[in-house]
Amino acid sequence: MKRASQSQQVQSTKSRPESAARTAAAPTPPTTPPTPNVGGAKTGGIGRRICYAVGNLGQAAFYNALSTYFVVYVTSTMFAGVDKALAARLIGIITGLIVVIRIAEIFLDPLLGNLIDNTTTRFGRFRPWQVIGGCVSALLLALVYTGLFGLVDVSETWFVILFVVVFIALDVLYSLRDISYWGMIPALSEDSHERSVYTALGSFTGSIGYNGITVVVIPIVTYFSYVFTGSRAESQSGWTAFGIIVALLGVITALTVAFGTRENESVLRAKAQKNGNPLQAFAALAKNDQLLWVALSYLLYAIANVATTGVLLYLFKFVLGQPAAFSIAGIIPIITGLVAAPLYPVLNRYIPRRYLYIAGMVFMIAGYVMFIVGAQNLSLVIIALVLFYIPATFIQMTAILSLTDSIEYGQLKTGRRNEAVTLSVRPMLDKIAGAFSNGIVGFIAVAAGMVGTATATDMTATNIRTFKMFAFYTPLALIVASLLVFVFTVRIDEKMHARIVEELEARLADGEGGMDGSASMDDAA
C-alpha cells in the first residue's frame, strides 16, 4: 500500500517504538534470516580501506600509460624500423583509430555499467570484474607495448586489423575495471561519510599512481633500453619493459581489491528490484533528477577545467614567453592533489560537502580572475594556478559522492538500484569533456595565432585578447553556470541521503518495493 506523502513516510519510520519493542521482545526468531554480508567482513575496516585504496594506485598508473604514454610510444618508437612514409601513414591510422575508439567508449560505458549491475556471483557484483578486467587488460597492455611483436614487419594489413581488435578489447576491459572500482563504493558502505573516506583514499592513491608514471616513465625506458641495447636512447625493448611493469602493477592492485575487500549485501541491495536490461536501466536514470542535475553541473565544470588545462602550455610559451617554467603547472596539481584528497573527509566531518563544493567553485572563480588580470606576470599566474587547482579534488569528490548517494534516491523513486550504471556517468562525462578539449585547444591555438613557428614576440594585443577570451573568459562563464546549477537544483546531501536510506529500509522491511516514479522527494528533502 502506498503512503500519501514522503513526509508521512519519513515520519512513520521515526514513530515506530512500540512496534520495534514488540519485535525485540518476540520469543521466536524471525522467519526470514538476516541477509549475509558477502565475505563476512564488517563495513569500514581499516584493512578494507587500505586494499581499496591500493587498487587505484595501479589503475591510475595504467590509465596514464594507456592514454598518454602509449601515444608517445606509437609516435616515437613503434615504427622506428619502418620506412618513413609508411611509418607516418601507420601513425596517422593508429592515432585516428584511438580517437574513434575513445569517442565510441562514451556511449559504451553505461552499457558496461548495466552489465556489471546485472552480475550475480557468490563473490559479489564488482569484485569479479576487478579480476577479469584487471588481469586481462594488463596482459593486453603489455602486448600493445611490444608493438604486437613486430607484426607490422610481416604484414601491414594484419597489424592494423589485430591492433584494432586488441585495443578495443583493452579499452573495454579497462573500463570494466574502472567502472566496477568506483561502482563498488555504495556496496562497501551505506554511510555517506564512510563513502567519502573511500573516495578520498582512491583519489589520493590515484594521484600518486597517475603522476608517478610521469616521473618514472623516462628513467624506466632509458634504463631498460641501455640494458638490452647498450644505448640510453628510447628503444622498443625499453618501452616493452615499461608496459610489462605497468601491467604487473595493474594485476597486483586489481587482485588486492578483489581479495582484500568485501561487498556488504545490505537490505537495500538485496531487496532492490532487478536492474533489468539497458533500456530499463536508462529509463530509471532518466527519472533520477538529482543524478541528472549533478551530472550537468559536473559536465560544465569538466569542460571548463580541461579547456583551461589544455592551453596552459600556450600561456607559458606565447603569453609569458617562459616555456621552461611550464613544469610549475605540473608540480602544483601534484602537491594540491596529495594534500586535498586526505583532507576532504576530515573537513567533511564538520563542513557539509555542499559548502565544500561551493567554496571550491569560488576558489576557481578567483583563479580565473587572477588569470585574466595577471596572464603576463609569472608570479600572478602561479597564484592563479594554486587557486585553480586547490579546489579540483574537492569538486570532483563532491560530484562522485553526490552521484553515489543518488543511487538510493533513484531506488526510492523507481525501485531499481543502478549502482555501476550510475557511477559510469562520471567517467563518461570526463570523456565528453576530453573530446571537447581536443577541439577547444586546437581552435584556441589557431584563433590566437599560436601555431607554426610563432613565438611570444609575435603575439599582438589582439592575439592575447583572443587567447584570454577562449582560455579564461569562456571557461569562467561555464564555472559560474556550474555553480548556479548546483546551488539551485542539487538537493542531495548527507542529511537527505540519511533520510532516504532510513525510508528505504523501512519500506523494504514492510515488503514494499521502490516507488513507481510518480512520487517526489521534495518532502524528504
Q: List pLDDT tens digits, range 135-190.
A: 999 999 999 999 999 888 888 889 989 999 999 999 899 999 998 998 888 888 87
Calpha distance 418→408 (Å, rounded): 9
Q: Is the pLDDT of residue 517 over 60?
A: no
Residue burial 456-478, b: 16+ Cβ < 10 Å; e: rest? eeebeeebbebbbebbbebbbeb
Give start and end residues of each alpha helix (H) in 184-271: 185-188, 192-229, 236-260, 267-270
Coil/strand/helix, residue 166: helix
Q: Where do runs of H (alpha helix) occur along 416-489?
A: 419-423, 425-447, 461-468, 474-489
How far apart are alpha carbons 209 and 212 in whole angstroms?
5
Q: Could you say which DSSP state residue 121 is in?
A: -
Q: Round to whole Å and give the CA distance between 273 and 198.
A: 26
Identity at 301, one-letter amino acid code: Y
> What per-residue confidence (pLDDT) applies to 336?
86
C-alpha cell at 274: 532487478
Most confident range (mean pLDDT) of 15-29, 107-121, 150-164 is 150-164
Taking the alpha carbons at both ends of the chain, their separation in whole angstroms is 22
Of 1.20.1250.20, 2.40.50.140, 3.50.50.60, 3.30.565.10, the CATH number of 45-260 is: 1.20.1250.20
In this structure, what is the dihedral angle of CA atoms 387, 391, 396, 402, given to the nearest 10 degrees?
-140
pLDDT at residue 516 above 50?
Answer: no
The CA–CA distances, whole Å, from 120 to 108, 125, 128, 269, 516 equal 21, 6, 10, 12, 25
Per-residue model confidence (pLDDT) at position 452: 63
Least confident range from 31-35, 106-110, 187-191, 459-463: namely: 31-35
- The span from the CA of 354 to the CA of 348, in Å, is 9
The CATH architecture that domain 288-510 belongs to is: Up-down Bundle (1.20)
Where exactly are the structural domains of the chain? 45-260, 288-510
Non-local CB neighbours of 402 within 8 Å, separated by 6+ positions: 290, 294, 353, 490, 492, 493
Query: Taking residues 40-51, what's their average pLDDT?
Result: 70
Contact 490, 403 (CB under 8 A): no
DSSP summary character for residue 78:
I
Residue percentage of the chain with pLDDT more than 90: 34
pLDDT band, residue 207 (cuts 50/70/90): confident
Q: What is the DSSP letter of 34?
A: P
* pTM more than 0.75: no
Residues in the chain: 525
Average pLDDT over residues 2-13: 40
Q: Quick one: pLDDT at residue 404?
A: 85
Query: The C-alpha cell of 69 is what?
Result: 604514454
The dihedral built from the CA positions of residue 55, 56, 59 and 62, taken in this order, carries a sign that is negative
Out of 146-150, 256-260, 296-300, 310-314, pick the least confident: 310-314
- Which residue do the cell numbers 584493512 mark? 47
User: CA-CA distance, 323 to 170, in Å (whole number)?
Assistant: 35
Cα–Cα distance measured from residue 291 to residue 285, given in angstroms and rounded to the nearest whole number: 7
What's the rounded Cα separation, in Å, for the pair 174 and 205? 18
The closest of 494, 279, 523, 512 to 404, measured between CA atoms, is 494
The answer to whether domain 45-260 and domain 288-510 are alike in fold is yes
Residues 124-156 as b or e (16 or more Cβ within 10 Å = b): bbbbbbbbbbbbbbbebbbbbbbbbeebbeeee
pLDDT at 70: 86
Q: Judging by beta carbons within 10 Å of its beta carbon (0-12, 13-18, 19+), is residue 166 exposed, middle or buried? A: middle
Classify residue 157 by burial, with Cβ atoms within 10 Å: 0-12, 13-18, 19+. Answer: exposed
- Give 116 or 522, the one with higher predicted confidence: 116
Q: Return phi, psi of residue 44, to 5°.
A: 85, 15
25: pLDDT strictly greater than 70: no
Nearest C-alpha neighbor of 372 from the set 457, 484, 468: 468
| Cβ–Cβ < 8 Å for 1, 515 | no
